[in-house]
Amino acid sequence: MKLCVGVAGRFAFWLSLWFVVGNGVAQSFQDNEVGLAVAKIALFPITWLLWPFVAPDYASAWPLADGSGWFIPALAVGFVGYGLSTFVGELEPVE
């Protein structure tokens, strides 16, 4: 059971990471900022932590009803999923 919780939590973390970083990179390409897109990929942990707070309102591919994006909820899901996978599922931390 612990392994199932760990795998599900880690999956939620990685899904959150790629959703946030992928949207950030796509937005940079859409704005013709290729250098910034490459930097967002290379520094993906920082992008994952900062992009939800600095993303413009039009950056979300699937905006919520109030016009905001899914970035902060995705970040929260990633934090909870990583915590569950590490502490409850007893998986080793990502290094």
Question: Cα-flanking dihedrals φ and ψ of residue 94, to 5°?
Answer: -75, 130
Which pLDDT value is given to residue 37?
94
Query: Domain total for the chain?
Result: 1
Please indicate, yes or no, if residue 53 is contained in any of the structural domains. yes
Which pLDDT value is given to residue 67?
64
Please indicate, yes or no, if residue 94 is contained in any of the structural domains. no
Which pLDDT value is given to residue 80?
93
∠ CA(4), CA(10), CA(11), 5° rounding?
90
Which pLDDT value is given to residue 73?
86
- Which range marks the domain in which residue 75 is found? 2-88
Q: Which tens digit of pLDDT belongs to each residue from 35-89? A: 999 999 999 999 999 988 888 877 776 666 666 678 888 889 999 999 999 898 8
How is residue 51 written in tokens?
């992009």
